[in-house]
Structure 1
Amino acid sequence: MKTRNIEDVQLDFLVSALSHGNFISTTDILMWMKQQNEDVVSNVKQIPIEQLKGWNYRDDRICHDSGKFFSIDGIHIMTNYRNVPEWDQPIINQPEIGFLGFIVKKFNGVMHFLMQAKIEPGNLNIVQLSPTLQATRSNYTRVHGGKSPNYLEYFNGEKEVYVLVDQLQSEQGARFLHKRNRNIIVEINEDEEISVKDGFIWVSLGQIKELLRYPNVVNMDSRTVISCIKFGNYSEQSLKLLSSVKNMYGIENDKPDLFLYSVLSSDNHLHELQDIIQWVTSLKFKYELGVNSIGISKMKYWIYDGNVLRHEDNKYFDVIGVRVEIGNREVVSWDQPMVRSAQEGLMGFIVKKINGIYHFLVQAKLEAGNFDIVEMAPTVQCLTGNYRNGKNEYTIPYLEQVLNAPNENIWYSSYQSEEGGRFFQEQNLNIIVEVGDEFPIEVEENYCWMTLNQMLSFVTYNNYLNIAARSLLSAVSFY
C-alpha cells in the first residue's frame, strides 16, 4: 500500500466536500435508494433467544457455537464518575477488529466515494448507504461459510492502492466492550478501471453530507469513516483572502462558510491543543472505571427468561433474538441476538462563536466499554437512559439548551440510525444548536470548547472522540 502527500490529500477531500458530484444528483440518489429498498427481499422477525440457531446460552453468556462473531456477556461496573457508583449490565463482547472502508477515485478532478446500498437486519428502512467494505473479521474470513465480501482485495493488500486514512476507532462504549474497527479510505488511480457491482454507486463527499440531512439514509459506519477526514490547516490571513475573493464574486457568507472556517482555521482557538490534552489527561486520572465480568444470571435487576434479556423495569435496552432472511448478503439467512433500545436517544452539540470562530462544547464522557476511561463526546449524549423530564434518573448538564433551542438557532437536526448489524431499529436525534452571548464561556469541569479543526486533530488518534461525536462531525456540511 502506498501513501500520497498529506496536504494534497486534504485538499482533494475539501474539493470533494464542496462538490455536488459528477454522476448523479442527490435527489436521484434518494430515488435510487428507494428502488433498492423496493427490490430487496428481506424478512426479519423476533424469536426467543433460546431458539436462535447456532447460538447457545452457556457459561452464563450468550455466544455463537463457533466461538466467533460476538457474545452477550454480563459485567459489573464500579466508578467515581457522576452519581451512580456501580451497576450491572449486558454488553456486546466482540474483540475482533473489522473493516470499515471506502474506495475513492477521482473523476474529472473530483474525488468520489464508492458506496454500497447495504441491508442490515436492524435498519429501520432496511437499506442504507454504507462504506464500500463493511465486514467483521469473522465475515471476511468466511466463518459463516458464505461468499467473500465485495472489493475485499482493495483492503487486504492484494491490490496496490494509496492509503489516505487508516485509523482504529472505538464503537459505542455503552454497548460494546473495548470494541474498535479499522476505519480506512484507499484510493485508486484515475485511469484504473474498477467494476461497479450491483448496489454500488459513486458519490462525492459533499453529497454524502447532503444526504445526512435526511433521516436514516447514510449508515453509522459511513458516518464514522468520513468523520476521520481532515481538510487541512490554514492561517487567519489565508482564510480572510478566501472570504474577500468570495465577496468579490458576490458569494455571501453563511452558516456553511462559518463551519468551513472552524474546520480550516489554525488560529483563534480558545484553548491550545496542549491545554486540551492536559484537560483530558487530568480527567482520565481523576475518574476510575472498574469492569468485572459476571454471569448473566448474576446481574442485579436484569432478567433472562429464555425469550429476552431485559432490565426488570424495562429500562435502558434489552437483548432480543432475530431470524433474518435477506436476498443480497454473503449469507442469505441466519439467526442472531440484537440490542434493542428502550427509547430514542439524543446526541447534540452546542456551538458558540468565541474569538470570531465557532467552538463546539465537548464533553469528557465515561462509558462502561471505553478503552481509556473517558472519551470526547457531544455536549449532550443520552442513548441508554431516558432524558425526558420526569423520567430521567440524574441531571444532564446543558440538556435544556439543546431541547428548547429556537428553530433559528438549530444548525442541524435529523434522526440517524445506530449500526444495524447489532442494534435493532435504533435511531437517535442528532442535533447541533447555536447559543449566544448569554451562554457563558466558563463551563463545567467535564466540558471544553474546541473548534472543528481541533476536534479533527484528535480524530487522527485512536480513542479520543467517541462514535456519537464522530457521527455529528460527519454531518457538518460546507454548502
Structure 2
Amino acid sequence: MAERQHLDWFRERLAASRGKEAVDPAPILAWRDKLLETVQFNARLIPVNELRKWKPDNGGNIRHESGLFFGVEGVRVEAGGLREVGGWDQPILTQVEGGLLVLLARETEADGVQLLLQAKAEPGNIGILQLVPSMQATWSNLKRAHQGRNPPLTEVMDARRGIRWIYRAEHNEEGGRFWQKSNENVIVFVEDESIITSDLTMFTWASLSQIRELALVDNVLSTFVKAIIAPL
C-alpha cells in the first residue's frame, strides 16, 4: 500500500511537470553521439570453444567457471496445439537469479521530474551505445562475480535514507529465450542527490516526454526502459 501511495504521488509530480519539462530528445541524442566519438568498444563473434572461462559441462551445457551468470541448456517443448507446430527442441538461457532494472528519478524547480538514463555498451547492440535504465544488473554483478567494479549507483540502492521507492514489480523475461527468468523493475526517487557518488559521465537526466520521443527513434532506447515507465 505504501508503494502504491508513492506511485500515485509520483504521477502527480509528473503531471505538475508537464508545463516545464523538456520534450525535444535532440539534446540527448547529441550527447549520445558525442560519447560515441570517444568510446573504445569492439565486439565480434567467435567460436564458442574459444570463449575464455565458459566451458561445456558433462551434459554439454555451457556455463561460466564460477557457476554464476547464465547457462545455455536445451529444452524440449510439447506445445499441445498452442503454437504453430506440435513441438520442438531448442537451446535456452538459464539463470537462477533475475535482473535488477532501476530508474532513478529526481525533481528540480527548473525542469520538473527527470529520470536518469545510462548510455551502455553491450556486445550485441546496434550502434554500440543504447540508453538503458540507471542501473541494469544481476545479483552476480552486485556481488562482483565478474571481479570488476561495482555497478554504478550501487550506493543509491544501499542508502537507508534520502530515497523513496516509487514502485517495484517482477516482469517475466522473454520466454522464448530465457527459462523462467524474471526481472525486478524499480523506480527510486532520489530526495537527496548528495548520496550519488558514482561518476555520471555515461548518464543523462531526461524527462518522461523526452523518453517517450526517444522510443520512436530506431535502436536507441532499451526495451527495459519502456517496460519500467509503462505504469506512469
| SS in structure 1 at match of 2:66 | coil
Match 1:224 to one of 224, 227, 230: 227
Does the C-alpha gap of structure 1 residues 166 and 95 become closer, same or farther in structure 2, counting only changes over 3 Å? same
**Structure 1 residue 122 displacement after superposition:** 0.8
1:102 aligns with 2:106: no
SS at structure 2 position matched to 1:39: coil
Give identity over the alignment, percent: 33
Counterpart of 2:35 in structure 1 is 36
Task: Tell me the residue number matched to 1:50.
Answer: 49
The alignment of Structure 1 onto Structure 2 pairs a total of residues equal to 225
Q: Does 1:118 align with 2:117?
A: no
Q: Structure 1 CA distance, aligned partners of 2:16 and 2:96?
A: 37
Aligned to 1:73: 73
**Counterpart selection for 1:200 from 197, 200, 203:** 203
In the TM superposition, residue 15 of structure 1 has moved relative to its aligned partner by 4.6
Counterparts of 1:64 and 1:119 in 2: how far apart (Å)? 21
**Deviation (angstroms), 1:222:** 1.4
CA distance in 1, matches of 2:193, 2:158: 18
Contact 1:102/1:115 (<8 A) preserved: yes
**1:52-101 superposed Cα distances (whole Å, 9 cap, x missing partner):** 00000122211111111000100101122144221101101012022100
Mapped contact 2:126–2:219 kept (Cα < 8 A) = yes
Q: Deviation string for 1:357-404 (max 9, x for gaps)?
A: xxxxxxxxxxxxxxxxxxxxxxxxxxxxxxxxxxxxxxxxxxxxxxxx
**Alpha-carbon separation, structure 1, partners of 2:189 and 2:46:** 42
Q: Structure 1 pair 110/72, CA: closer, same or farther in 2 (3 Å)?
A: same
Cα 1:156–1:221, aligned 2, differ >3 Å: closer, same or farther?
farther
Q: Distance in 2 between matches of 1:151 and 1:213?
A: 27
| 1:164–1:197 CA distance, 2 compared to 1 (3 A) | same
Q: Distance in 2 between matches of 1:46 and 1:15?
A: 48
Counterpart pick for 1:186 among 172, 185, 188: 188
In 2, distance between residues paired with 1:42 and 1:5?
Answer: 39
3-state SS of paired residue (2:212): helix
Q: Quick check: 1:165 aligned with 2:167? A: yes
- Between the aligned partners of 2:85 and 2:27, the Cα distance in structure 1 is 49
1:272-311 counterparts in 2 under 5 A? none
Q: Give the C-alpha shift of residue 5 in structure 1.
A: 4.4
Cα drift, residue 19 of structure 1: 6.1
RMSD: 2.1
Distance of 2:134 and 2:160 partners within structure 1: 16
Whole-angstrom CA distance in 2 between matches of 1:9 and 1:214: 26
**Among 187, 210, 214, the residue aligned to 1:211:** 214
Structure 2 residues without counterparts, runs of 5 or longer = none
Give the counterpart letter for 2:30 in structure 1.
M
TM superposition shift of 1:20 = 7.0
The answer to whether the 8 Å contact 2:54/2:65 transfers is yes
TM-score, with structure 2 as normaliser:
0.89
What are the Cα deviations for residues 413-460 of structure 1, in whole angstroms up to 9, with x where unaligned?
xxxxxxxxxxxxxxxxxxxxxxxxxxxxxxxxxxxxxxxxxxxxxxxx
Provide the secondary structure at the position in 1 that maps to 2:69: coil
Between the aligned partners of 2:189 and 2:42, the Cα distance in structure 1 is 36
TM-score w.r.t. the length of structure 1 is: 0.44
Amino acid at match of 2:170: L
Aligned to 2:138: 136
1:117-139 superposed Cα distances (whole Å, 9 cap, x missing partner): 11111100000111110011111
CA contact (8 A) 1:166 1:185 kept: yes
Aligned letter for 1:117? Answer: A
- The CA distance in 2 between the partners of 1:202 and 1:95, in whole Å, is 32
CA distance 1:123–1:85, change in 2 (3 Å): same
On the 8 A contact 1:100/1:134 being kept in 2, the answer is yes
- For residues 126 and 19 of structure 2, the distance between their equivalents in structure 1, rounded to whole angstroms, comes to 29
Q: Which has the larger radius of gyration?
A: 1
Q: Which residue of 2 aligns with 1:90?
A: 91
